[in-house]
């Protein structure tokens, strides 16, 4: 059973959402301010954090920043509809995805499920190397959510891992953003949605520059992205 941590200052809403998630088979704990959110999230007892951006005192963005300093755990942001800055900032700081608030609880559960799906596959022993993907200097172990780049461990959030995995499975070919959104975020791409671009930019930053000065992940304008295959 997955353990969800809900960080939202709206006590009544938290109670209702918690109830909904329990009915859907999740274990939920809720905290109502940022400081508590950070300490509870870092206790390691939860599989995913649902984080409201608009909170008094410590904002959601700041909570995310502090969580990311210590943990790669999946984080889903609840952002204000139409507030692009918080959304982009959240994704840049390593949030796995965002849901505009207000949203239906069904949508929220679906998004949480999509993010956790990878981890819910038959649990693999650390030594399990089945399904290993290799492309050039990149090696991915999808069952363990671990990656090596040029022989060194690569720190990726769950969403970044799945995006890179999608690209690596079709290395050298163009992958459309739509495909990437569906396979990595578990949802179709919304209009004007820049989430994929922000995640890719973050991965690019982690991979560095090729010897020929180009980036490892190429943008094919109007079509999608491509992982360069050597």
107 three-state secondary structure: helix
Residue from 2, 27, 29, 32 touching other proteins (CB under 8 A): that is 32
Query: Among residues 27 and 80, whose Cβ is nearest to other proteins?
Result: 80
Q: Number of residues in contact with other proteins, rule: CB under 8 A?
A: 22
Under the binding rule (CB under 8 A), the answer on residue 102 touching other proteins is: yes
Ramachandran angles phi, psi of 155, nearest 5°: -85, 115
The residue among 25 and 131 lying less far from other proteins, judged by its C-beta, is: 25
Minimum distance between the CB of residue 219 and other proteins, rounded to whole angstroms?
Answer: 32
- Tell me the C-alpha distance between 31 and 164, whole Å: 33
Strands (DSSP E) found in the chain: 3-7, 27-31, 48-52, 75-80, 97-101, 133-135, 138-141, 146-149, 152-154, 174-176, 217-220, 224-227
106 touching other proteins, by CB under 8 A: yes
Residue 94: φ, ψ to 5°: 105, 20
- Residue 31 CA to residue 51 CA, distance in Å, equals 10
Closer by beta carbon to other proteins, 9 or else 197: 9
Tell me which stretch binds other proteins (CB under 8 A): 19-27, 88-96, 164-172, 183-191: 19-27
Q: Is 92 in the site for other proteins (CB under 8 A)?
A: no
Asked whether position 25 contacts other proteins by CB under 8 A, the answer is no
> Is 101 an interacting residue with respect to other proteins (CB under 8 A)?
yes
Count the Cβ atoms, other than its own, within 10 Å of residue 146: 15
| DSSP line for 160-187 | HHHHHHHHHHTTTSEEEHHHHIIIIISS
- Provide the minimum distance between the beta carbon of 22 and other proteins in the complex, in angstroms, as a whole number: 10
- Residue 20 or 228 with smaller CB distance to other proteins: 20
- Take residue 145 and report the two structure tokens written for it: 């959510």
Whole-number Å distance between alpha carbons of 35 and 157: 22
CB of 80 to other proteins, least distance (A): 7
Binding residues among 46-85 for other proteins as defined by CB under 8 A = 54, 80-82
State which residue, 32 or 206, has the beta carbon closest to other proteins: 32
Interface positions with other proteins (CB under 8 A): 9-13, 16-17, 19-20, 23-24, 32, 54, 80-82, 101-106
């Amino acid at each position: 059973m997955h353990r969800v941590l809900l960080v939202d200052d709206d006590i009544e809403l938290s109670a209702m959402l918690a109830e909904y998630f329990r009915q859907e088979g999740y274990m939920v704990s809720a905290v109502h301010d940022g400081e508590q959110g950070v300490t509870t999230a870092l206790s390691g007892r939860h599989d995913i954090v649902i984080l409201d951006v608009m909170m008094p005192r410590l904002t959601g963005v700041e909570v995310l920043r502090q969580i990311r300093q210590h943990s790669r755990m999946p984080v889903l942001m609840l952002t204000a509809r139409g507030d692009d800055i918080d959304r982009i900032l959240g994704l840049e700081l390593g949030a796995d995805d965002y849901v505009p608030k207000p949203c239906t609880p069904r949508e929220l559960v679906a998004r949480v499920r999509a993010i956790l799906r990878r981890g819910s596959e038959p649990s693999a022993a650390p030594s399990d190397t089945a399904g290993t993907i290799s492309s050039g200097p990149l090696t991915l172990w999808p069952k363990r959510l671990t990656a090596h780049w040029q022989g060194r461990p690569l720190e990726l959030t769950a969403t970044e891992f799945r995006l890179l995995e999608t690209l690596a499975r079709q290395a050298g070919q163009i992958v459309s953003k739509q495909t990437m959104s569906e396979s990595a975020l578990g949802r179709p791409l919304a209009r004007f949605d820049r989430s994929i671009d922000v995640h890719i930019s973050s991965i690019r930053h982690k991979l560095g520059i090729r010897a020929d000065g180009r980036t490892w992940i190429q943008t094919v304008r109007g079509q999608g992205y491509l992982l360069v295959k050597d």
